[in-house]
Amino acid sequence: MAEIVIKNLRKDFGDFNAVKSSSFTIGDGEFFMLLGPSGCGKTTTLRMIAGLELPTSGEIYIDGEEVGQRPASERDIAFVFQMFALYPHMNVRKNISYPLISQGMPRAKVKEKVAEVARILGIEDILDRPVGGLSGGDRQRVALGRAIVREPKAFMMDEPLGALDAEFREHMAEELRALHDRMGATTVYVTHDQLEAMQMGDKIVVMNHGVIEQFGVPQDIYDWPATMFVAEFIGSPPMNFLRFDGVAEAGRGSVQMNGHDFLVPDLRDGAKGPLVLGVRPEHVHLSEAAPYRGKVIATEYLGTTQIVTIKTPNGEIKARTGSEASVNAGENVGLEFNGNTVTVFEANTGIALRSAANERVLAHG
Ligand code: ATP
């Protein structure tokens, strides 16, 4: 168990700056997600925490001790890779016990530990099987077994479910989260899959181009994105952006777009020029009477809901409505937004304006 504190962490590869200046704290026992698109620096960050890569500058504290320049072997961290390599010539039991035997642990103790890990993972019945013929899920469990048997201070996982097909992946994600809840070990998990991050994480760091865009609990990141990048990266369909030129006045709970007033959470910051009203699809309501109007260009039936694509004077947006609502392409519809869920962004910087609703979230972001 360990608390991990990252301060001003930076990594350069030659002239290329892969991680700019990251600071965040991973609480003891947290399941912590590093999320972002390919190349954003999440694996590099994970490798620096594990000691597989040394930072160019900045500090890494594990349980209060600065370990940034120490090798992996001195950090007591277990790494679980996507391409989990097992020793093919050994059976399951030997694969799991190997780290303990190489530490010189007495045989009886090893046996006890392996039995305990096998019970936690539900793989007691395959302990004597060769690893060659195992299913993907069982191979993953054995790889996890080999990592957890050492009882390290923390686990680092780099897209561990990346190689599995969608259905099985979801099952393993649940299993991994349940395993974490039973063991309570600090886990840092890299993924580019926002759903996986939302589903499993206690906290999420969203990275882009080596920069932390936001850091917080999944719900805050979904409801109150700090930047347009986060608003678009999280959620499917992503947050809608209605673009307009105008003034956002501090102290007001509304903005004017195309001559219509739209309620927003009380603004703490003002801005003028190109602005963006950010609205999640489930907060767009079709209403006959609403004066702000658009034209339906497509509907997509999803079973319990449907996604309606609407052309508005401020760009195309998507609404998530009940599947029973009868909406057809070509129709002219009125649009209303839930005022207390809207985020206003400055278009040029992509940064959310502070408001009564999001300032708590942006403050620790
Ligand atoms: P992916 O999911 O594709 O691995 P990532 O967010 O984990 O993406 P990193 O692997 O951390 O990204 O890489 C960040 C950037 O640093 C990338 O542009 C990558 O090409 C570069 N990079 C990573 N390792 C090295 C290296 N050893 N030498 C040079 N450049 C590197």
Give the lowest-confidence range in 39-53, 158-172, 185-199, 240-254: 158-172
Is the residue at 363 inside a domain?
no
Structural domain of 49: 4-223
- For residue 365, is pLDDT > 50? no
Mean pLDDT, range 77-104, rounded to an integer? 86
- For residue 72, is pLDDT > 50? yes
Is the residue at 228 inside a domain?
no
Pick the residue whose CA is nearest to atom 10 on ligand 1. Answer: 43
Nearest to 76 by CA among 184, 201, 185, 202: 185
CA of 207 to the centre of ligand 1 (A): 13
Per-position b or e across 248-276, b if 16+ CB within 10 A of its CB: beeeebbbebeeeebbbbbbebebeeebb
Same domain, 156 and 253: no
Domain boundary pick from 159, 194, 223? 223
Strand 57-62 to strand 65-66: parallel, antiparallel, or no bridges (unpaired)?
antiparallel
Is the residue at 202 inside a domain?
yes
CA of 108 to the centre of ligand 1 (A): 43
pLDDT the model gives residue 85: 74
Per-position b or e across 278-314, b if 16+ CB within 10 A of its CB: bbbbebbebeeeeebebebeebeeeeebbbbbbebeb
Same domain, 156 and 258: no
Strand partners, 316: 311
Task: Give the position, in ligand 1's atom list, of the atom nearest the Cα of 210.
Answer: 14
Pick the residue whose CA is nearest to atom 1 on ligand 1. Answer: 38
Query: What distance in Å separates the CA atoms of residue 193 and residue 207, rounded to the nearest whole number?
Result: 12
Place 147 in a pLDDT band, splitting at 50, 70 and 90. confident
Same domain, 28 and 174: yes
Instruction: Give the model confidence (pLDDT) of 323-337 as tens digits.
Output: 988 899 999 999 999
Is the residue at 58 inside a domain?
yes
CA of 96 to the centre of ligand 1 (A): 30
Same domain, 123 and 33: yes
Same domain, 289 and 181: no
Same domain, 253 and 218: no
178 or 315, greater pLDDT:
315
- Around 86, how many Cα atoms within 13 Å sit in the side-chain half-sphere? 27
Alpha carbon separation from 153 to 38, 156, 201, 309 (Å, rounded):
28, 10, 18, 48
Same domain, 213 and 247: no
Q: What is the CATH number of the domain that holds 333?
A: 2.40.50.140
pLDDT the model gives residue 83: 56
Domain count, the chain: 2
Place of tokens 């020793």: 87
Place of tokens 């799991």: 96
Query: What distance in Å separates the CA atoms of residue 58 and residue 7, rounded to the nearest whole number?
Result: 6
Distance of alpha carbon 122 from the chain centroid: 27
Mean pLDDT, range 80-93, rounded to an integer? 80
Angle at Cα 129 formed by Cα 125 and Cα 135, nearest 5°? Answer: 85
In contact, 201 and 32? CB cutoff 8 Å: yes
Same domain, 159 and 304: no
Task: Give the position, in ligand 1's atom list, of the atom nearest the Cα of 207.
Answer: 6
Domain boundary pick from 223, 250, 281? 223
* Ligand 1 neighbours by CB, cut-off 6 Å: 13, 16, 18, 36, 38-44, 192
Task: Give the position, in ligand 1's atom list, of the atom nearest the Cα of 41.
Answer: 11
pLDDT the model gives residue 132: 87
Q: What is the CATH number of the domain that holds 124?
A: 3.40.50.300
Task: Give the position, in ligand 1's atom list, of the atom nearest the Cα of 11.
Answer: 16
Mean pLDDT, range 231-240, rounded to an integer? 97
Ligand 1 pocket mutation pick from 9, 13, 22 by most atoms within 8 angstroms of CB:
13
Is the residue at 233 inside a domain?
no
Give the lowest-confidence range in 165-179, 194-208, 289-303: 165-179
Pick the residue whose CA is nearest to atom 19 on ligand 1. Answer: 39
Q: How many C-beta atoms lie closer than 10 Å to residue 175's C-beta?
A: 17
pLDDT the model gives residue 363: 67
Strand partners, 336: 285
CA of 17 to the centre of ligand 1 (A): 10
Ligand 1 pocket mutation pick from 11, 44, 79 by most atoms within 8 angstroms of CB:
44
Same domain, 27 and 107: yes
Task: Give the position, in ligand 1's atom list, of the atom nearest the Cα of 37.
Answer: 6
- For residue 165, is pLDDT > 80? no
